[in-house]
Amino acid sequence: LHMTDQVNDNTAPDTSAPAADGGVAREVKRRRTFAIISHPDAGKTTLTEKLLLFGGAIQMAGTVKARKSGRHATSDWLEIEKQRGISVASSVMQFAYDDCVINLLDTPGHQDFSEDTYRVLTAVDAAVMVVDAAKGVEAQTIKLLEVCRLRNTPIITFINKMDREVREPLEVLDEIESVLKIHCAPVTWPIGMGKRFQGVYHLLNDEVMRFTPGEEKADQEVEVLKGAQIDKLTEQCPSEMQTMRDETELVMGAGASFDLEEFLKGKQTPVFFGSGINNFGVREVLRALVDWAPSPLPRETDKRMVRPDEPAFTGFVFKIQANMDPNHRDRIAFMRVCSGRYSPGMKVKHRRTGKEMKLANAVTFMANERTRMDEAYAGDIIGVHNHGQLQIGDVLTEGEALTFKGIPYFAPELFSRARLRDPMKAKQLEKGLRQLGEEGAVQVFLPLVDNTPLIGAVGQLQFEVVEHRLKDEYGVDAVFERAGIHTARWVTCPDANHLNEFVKANQGRLAKDVDGNYAYLADTGVNLRLAQERWPKVQFHATREHG
């Protein structure tokens, strides 16, 4: 299944004269790039499958399932290795829908949760948040939404599993508003739930979509009721309909109507109710993406804003996947295109090293194959093979020296020290850690008063991966031991003298990261708060930007 063909099929033949920019602006307009954020088990995999069904990527569904079944396996590295072919193939999925080219970026599930997850969110223009209607807002959703908020990413909310006995919709909305601090604008509202789930009322269209269970349904098969047909439904299930009327009146009375501007600012989220497994309510989410979610936006750099429809190519690396093919020691750098057009063989400049690179073999991942792509525009993701030249945050352009802002490092929540089994390998360990740190696999900190590097991660799996890769790629046999550190904060102060005083007074708790920035390592949350109170002029940052 080759989706670029489909895209072309869906495009009306353009008989007008070619645009001055070679059609870049037109291509950018039809791009939508998003990720699904959710807590494990809320239904992300299911929703992904159904979305792909609408895009015609039916074969994909099986792939997503296959990947998913692996998720419950142990987090043993070799297992991960085995599954990696599949998980990588589905880490970017492109499909066509209604003249849009949609890029869905996968965020890893619970067990392989890592900094990657966060950085993927810097490469999207919108996110779909899946909430389990029985469980409400859960821990991982809170974390991921915080990250979306750094860039005010617009969020579409899907409240899933209405075919079950779940919590009252008003209660779930209340929780989203109070915990996630985002206004909810319900677009659909459920009529009953569980065995009595009748469907949803569409508040903007004044119609009812009838629910009938069934796995593989396409959108045409959903029964839509209007006017007198709705009255008839009211006769059939008066109590569910009355409840729906009362509840929608209540929320609309509270001024919760959808406002595109507020959505685009990330302040308000349109809310849809449904049942992913029954492919119910999924089309509405897809419509919201197509109709409301932004096409690629201008991006800020150290010099100027880069518009997506500029003719010259720019892009940045947001994720590195190493050794995808055990037979080839290559790494794939996932790059988000920010402007211009990618074409095979084009020459670009690597901002950090100033060297020229030929983008001969960029790939995208369609269905379950790596496919060579013929062109890519802002919003698209290309995979660039390399042997370690590319790092997270790196920028490629057609000449201009630019650095994109906002590719973050997050304060690690887990810390380990590497203990060598063979003390003669200290040099290799240092080299390995430095390179893996540059690649973004983990974060490495050097304490000021001790030479043992501290390795920081957001997810446990990162340690396992690094332990394995140190052995495999650097011949270093090291064991990782947990260090008693609660969290790190990067510290800055506009007054250099004051910062020096702070550093002197806190030697034992400070370390430098790979770029030479100071980080404060706190044993406990209380310890961190005390330090912040004692040094009010010093700023403590939970994230720092690349470069």
DSSP code of 514? Answer: T
Show the tokens assigned to 431.
Answer: 């080299």
Query: Of 46, 91, 443, 460, which lies in the binding site for ligand G4P, with binding defined by CB under 6 A?
Result: 46
Q: CB within 8 A of 501, min separation 6: which ones?
A: none
DSSP state of 494: S
169 in a labelled binding site: no
Pairing of strands 543-545, 408-410: antiparallel
Q: Does residue 232 have a known ligand-binding role?
A: no
Q: Return d(Cα 445, Cα 434) in angstroms, integer.
A: 10
Contact 525, 488 (CB under 8 A): no
Comparing CB distances to ligand G4P, the nearer of 109 and 456 is 109
Q: Which two tokens stand for residue 218?
A: 């396409």
Q: Enumerate residues 54-73 that contact ligand G4P by CB under 6 A.
A: 68
Helix H or strand E encompassing 156: strand 155-160
Q: Under a CB-based contact definition with an 8 Å cutoff, are residues 54 and 216 in contact? A: no
Q: Which stretch binds ligand G4P (CB under 6 A): 36-44, 244-252, 347-355, 459-467?
A: 36-44
Q: How far apart are CA 89 and CA 78, in angstroms?
A: 18
Closest approach, Cβ 135 to ligand G4P, in A, equals 11
The piece of 43-51, 206-214, 328-336, 485-493 that touches ligand G4P (CB under 6 A) is 43-51
Number of residues near ligand G4P (by CB under 6 A)? 17
Does 45 count as an annotated binding residue? yes
Identity of the residue, 68 or 319, whose beta carbon is nearer to ligand G4P in the bound complex: 68
Site for ligand G4P in 296-335 (CB under 6 A): none
212 is in an annotated binding site: no
Q: Is 116 annotated as a binding residue?
A: no
Does position 279 interact with ligand G4P (CB under 6 A)? The reply is no
Q: Closest separation between CB of residue 170 and ligand G4P, Å?
A: 20
Question: Count of CB atoms within 10 A of residue 60's CB?
Answer: 25
Instruction: Give the span between the Cα atoms of 191 and 205, in whole angstroms.
Output: 16
Applying CB under 6 A, among 143, 149, 164, 486 the residue interacting with ligand G4P is 164
Q: For 277, list phi and psi in degrees, rounded to 5.
A: -65, -30
Q: How far is CA 540 from CA 232, 360, 393, 440, 518, in A?
A: 61, 43, 22, 22, 10
Is residue 275 involved in binding ligand G4P (CB under 6 A)?
Answer: yes
107 labeled part of a ligand binding site: yes
Contact by Cβ (8 Å): 104, 51: yes
Could you say whether residue 161 binds ligand G4P (CB under 6 A)?
yes
Grouping H, G, I as helix, E, B as strand and the rest as coil, residue 294 is coil
| Residue 41 binds ligand G4P (CB under 6 A) | yes
Please identify, using beta-carbon distances, which residue of 43 and 154 lies nearer to ligand G4P: 43
Binding piece for ligand G4P, criterion CB under 6 A, among 160-168, 247-255, 405-413, 469-477 = 160-168
| Residue 476 contacts residue 429 (beta carbons within 8 Å) | yes
Among positions 115, 125, 163, 284, the unique one binding ligand G4P when judged by CB under 6 A: 163
Q: 344 among the known binding-site residues?
A: no
Piece of 42-50, 168-176, 295-303, 523-531 that binds ligand G4P (CB under 6 A): 42-50
Is 405 marked as binding a ligand?
Answer: no
Would you give the distance in Å from CA 373 to the centre of its chain?
Answer: 22
Element containing residue 457 per DSSP (H, E):
strand 454-457
- Contact between 160 and ligand G4P by CB under 6 A: the answer reads yes
Nearest to 97 by CA among 187, 12, 6: 6
| Least distance (Å) between residue 48 CB and ligand G4P | 7
Choice between 158 and 502, CB closer to ligand G4P: 158
Binding residue per annotation — 349? Answer: no
48 is in an annotated binding site: no
Q: What is the DSSP letter of 18?
A: P
Q: What's the closest the beta carbon of residue 131 comes to ligand G4P, in angstroms?
A: 10
Q: How far apart are CA 510 and CA 515, in angstroms?
A: 14
Tokens of 321: 């996947």
Least distance (Å) from ligand G4P to the CB of residue 460? 18
387 is in an annotated binding site: no
Of the pair 281, 308, the CB lying nearest ligand G4P is at 281
Q: Should residue 40 be labelled a site residue for ligand G4P when binding is judged by CB under 6 A?
A: yes
Beta strands in 303-350 (DSSP E): 305-306, 314-322, 331-339, 341-342, 346-350
Q: How far is the CB of 278 from ligand G4P (least distance, A)?
A: 6
**Is residue 276 a contact residue for ligand G4P (CB under 6 A)?**
yes
Interaction pattern, residues 211-250, with ligand G4P; x per rule: CB under 6 A: ----------------------------------------
Give the one residue of 32, 44, 331, 546 binding ligand G4P; rule: CB under 6 A.
44
162 is in an annotated binding site: yes
Q: How far apart are CA 323 and CA 81, in angstroms?
A: 9
Stretch that binds ligand G4P, among 275-283, 367-375, 404-412, 505-513 (CB under 6 A): 275-283
Residue placing its CB nearer to ligand G4P in the complex, 408 or 459: 459
Closest distance between ligand G4P and the C-beta of residue 190, in Å? 12
Residue in 96, 67, 101 with CA at minimum distance from that of residue 84: 67
160 known ligand binder = yes
Phi/psi-derived region of residue 141, left when phi > 0, alpha when psi is between -120 and 50, beta in every other case: alpha
Can you name the residues that pair with 419 across neighbouring β-strands? 479
**For residues 517 and 540, what is the distance between their CA atoms, to the nearest angstrom?**
12
Is residue 42 a known part of a binding site? yes
Other beta carbons within 10 angstroms of residue 220's beta carbon come to: 6
Residue 525 annotated in ligand binding: no
Q: Which listed residue (25, 35, 42, 470) binds ligand G4P by CB under 6 A?
A: 42
- Which residues are CB-contacts of 174 (< 8 A; sequence separation ≥ 6)? none
**Binding-site residue ranges:** 38-45, 106-110, 160-163
Q: What is the binding site for ligand G4P (CB under 6 A)? A: 38, 40-46, 68, 109, 160-161, 163-164, 275-277
**Binding-site residue ranges for GTP:** 38-45, 106-110, 160-163
